[in-house]
Structure formats: C-alpha cells, structure tokens
Amino acid sequence: MSGFIERENPALFSEIVGSVAAASPEAVDKVVRWADAEQRIWATRPLPDRLVALTRASAAIENAIEDLAELLARESGKVLGDCRGEIGFAVRYLRWVVEHATMAYADREVDDELGRIVEQRRPFGVVAAITPWNAPIILSMLKIAPALAAGNAIVVKPSPLAPLTIDRIAGLFDAPIRVVHGGTETGAALVGHELVRKVAFTGGAAGGRAVAALAGDRLTPTVMELGGNDPAVFLDDAPFAGDAMDRLVMASFATSGQVCMAAKRLYVPLARLDEFVSAYRSAAGRVLKTGHPLSAGVTMGPVISAAAQRAARALIPPDAVLLGAFDADPSTGYFVHPALVVAPDPSSPVVVEEQFAPVVPVLGYESEEQVLTWANAGDLGLGASVWSADEERAFAFARRFEAGFTFVNTHNRTGMSLRAPFGGVKRSGWGREYAGEGLAEYVQTCVIHAPAAFRPGAVAPSGGPSAYPPG
C-alpha cells in the first residue's frame, strides 16, 4: 500500500474525516531503525525521568480530550460519550502504569547463605504494536504505556479504519514512539523487521495467525489478544432486574456489538425464557438509541463499514426482536437496527461464530451441565459471565468456564479492573494485559548470580566444578 489512506465517516459515508500517509516497507524500515537508535538512549534515562515524560503525555491527552473524542467519533462511528470514556480510560491507565512501574521494573536482589542473585528487568528494545479499529486508543495505550515505561521504543500500526486519533495522540509523547499506517504489507514489514524484539497484537483470528506466523519465523516473542464468543449464563436464581438488564444490554451493544469481550451468547433457564426476553426488551427501550454518534442521547452508532453492515444483516432473521429506538438513516451511514434472536438453532452461525455486530442470540437451557457444555463449546475462550443472586454459587460456576476472564453479575467494560489481568485461553490468544502481568510483558528478566560456594572466602564444594549445587 502506498499513497494516502482516506478515512470516511461510517455515520455519514459521504464525508472524508481525514487522511494519513501509507508507509511502504522502506519507510517502515527507516522508522524501526530510528526507534532502535532512540531506544538505546531512552533506556539509559533513569526510570523516574521516563515516568515524568509519561505523566506529561497523560496531561496533554487529557487537555485535548474533547477534540480527540470528536475525531474518534467521526472516524470510528462510536458515540461521543463512549469516545470520551475510552480516551479518559486510556489516560487513567497511563497514570496507573506510572504509579506502578517503579515496583514492577525495579531490580530485585537476594543476598543470603545460598549466594547472591540480582534479577534485572530489562527492556526488549523495539516493540511493534498492531492494533484494531474498535477501541483504538485504549488498545494502543495498553501497549504504549508499559512498553515506554520499561525503556522500550514502540512503533504502532493502527487499523486503516481508525488511523487518525491515535496518530494525533502519539504526537503528544516526548518519547520514542512512532505510528506507521497501512495494510497487510505495512504490518508484515513491521512485524518481520530484524530489529523488532517484541510484538503485541490485538485483533481477529486471521490477522493473529499471520502475525504469529511471521513473528514465529523470526522467533520474536508475542502477546496476542484475539477474538471471543463470550457466553453470559443466567442461573435459575438470577434476578432480571432493571439495573442488571441495563448492564447486559450495553454489554452486548456498546460500540454496536463490535467488542471482543461483548456478551455474545445469552443463556437463561428454559422455564424463564419469556420472562427474560420481556425484561431484556424493556431494558433496551431504556438504554438503546441508535443514531448519529454526535447526537445527544444516542447510545449506539453505525457499524464500521459496508462489509460489516452486510455481515450483520445476514445474521438477523426476519423474526428477530428489534430493540430500542432507531433514529438513523441506513442510506447515509452503516446503521443496523440492534436485534435479539430468540431460541435459534444452537448450531447456527449467530450462536457458534463471533458476531462482532449488533445482534445477540438468547437460548433456553434445561440444566447447568447442559449450559456449561454449550458455554465451553468452540475454540474461543476470551471472556464469560455468570449471573446469580448467590455470589458463592456464581463463583463456583465461574470456575468451570473455559475463559480467560469471567465477570460476575456484569459483563464487558463495567466489569474491568486495572488490577485484574485480562487475556484469553484456547484460541483467544496468550499473554495478558492490565495489572502486573501486563507490565511484565514488556521486560525480560536477566539474572546475575554468585553462588555462595564460589564467593570470596568461601570453601568450594567437593566433587569438582561440574558438581550439581546442593539443595
């Protein structure tokens, strides 16, 4: 890809929001070599100095949040409030990293009767980040913040469907960070570069396979956050109260359902299916309004593209329950009326495939063993949720999910915590983001060891220099 990438407004596809220059493989090479040189200088700066630079960046982003949020809404189709929330959360995470980096990246030393061990936390060098369009700011910041704090340089390649806001945010850092734009050719040049020492990827299965294969060919370590087909299981004692249903509706339809950890399959006791559908429809009437992302009161905008619109419509049968208020013109933007599919065939695509669209199925189950089998079916295991009036019962059930992150009595954004590591099992990826585990992804542990037997003044053990150490 060469030339320029133009980004249309998915809510008004006649409007071009902006454009960015696409990077050729030669341009990527130049950026990575710059990052490699700058990283060597950045890594020599004391950690407190690096954290001061990140703190200044957080203030600059926060001061520009209104302009950035509007730009993000226009390029992505996300409603303005969600865009403010995403950028604000990214600032919060950046400050959390600053607060916790000193402990996470400090050397650790033991000096006792067994010897002396120093564990150093060293940066990798140049980190490549490949990020998607659905939450481009927070999903980039989850990589940018710990990578820079640890002393790495980072080169971000965002999706061509959301290149503008992250490009502007990267420019607010006084640190070794650059953004390159393009499609698969640009991504391959970045991931496969000889000076890239770590790859962090968030995206779908097809992109994940390509990135993992290319990184594996160079033996470059990766952290991969891939897709999910998250089940939400309501046990037989779960209340279908207003607040719970409001949370569940938005857990499925925030960002028009285009979220990896959205609630994508709803399971309720068969005897309570009609009750659930009624409560869900009422909640959708309270919290769902589809329309232009910059309009007041709108909670759901368009999907990202014409292809996404076609795919979503193909999943919605004629008898689906349409939800909430719909104040949008599908002839001017990629709007889809959100839908609940009641009691579909358990083997249908809307159930077994990740929809990534404003459509969600609800199925009735007869026993906990049956619903657990259904919930754990498939290759994906990113998130899940269990809903119950009894927290202990919910936790006991949750322990049996095949999921990297399980929510209790909520799902999606309302259940996230900066102190809780997030990531998938099975084919939903590996590695973790958030919490201490997320910080640890961006350093290597390097050890210096002086065994007690060979320290000055010690008596060497019998058995010669090849003897195994005692204990």
User: In angstroms, how far is CA 152 from the centroid of its own chain?
Assistant: 20
pLDDT at residue 346 in the model: 96
| Distance, CA of 280 to CA of 276 (rounded, Å) | 6
Choosing from 75, 86, 225, 354, the catalytic residue is: 225
How many Cα atoms within 13 Å fall on the side-chain side of residue 173? 25
Choosing from 8, 75, 260, 402, the catalytic residue is: 260
The residue assigned the tokens 């607060």 is: 99
Running along the chain, 471 residues long, what does each successive block of 10 average in pLDDT?
87 96 97 98 98 98 98 98 98 98 96 97 98 97 98 98 98 98 97 98 95 97 97 97 94 97 98 97 97 96 97 96 96 97 97 97 98 97 98 98 98 95 97 97 98 88 57 45
CB atoms closer than 10 angstroms to residue 111: 12
| Distance, CA of 398 to CA of 420 (rounded, Å) | 16
Q: How many helices (DSSP H) and strands (DSSP E) are in the chain?
A: 15, 22
Compute the C-alpha angle 377/379/381, nearest 5°. Answer: 85
Q: What tokens does 179 get? A: 């953004």
| Whether residue 225 lies in the annotated active site | yes
Exposed e or buried b per residue across 206-233, where buried means at least 16 C-beta atoms within 10 angstroms of its C-beta? ebbebbbebbeeeebebbbbbbbbbbbb
pLDDT at residue 459 in the model: 77
Which pTM value belongs to this model? 0.95
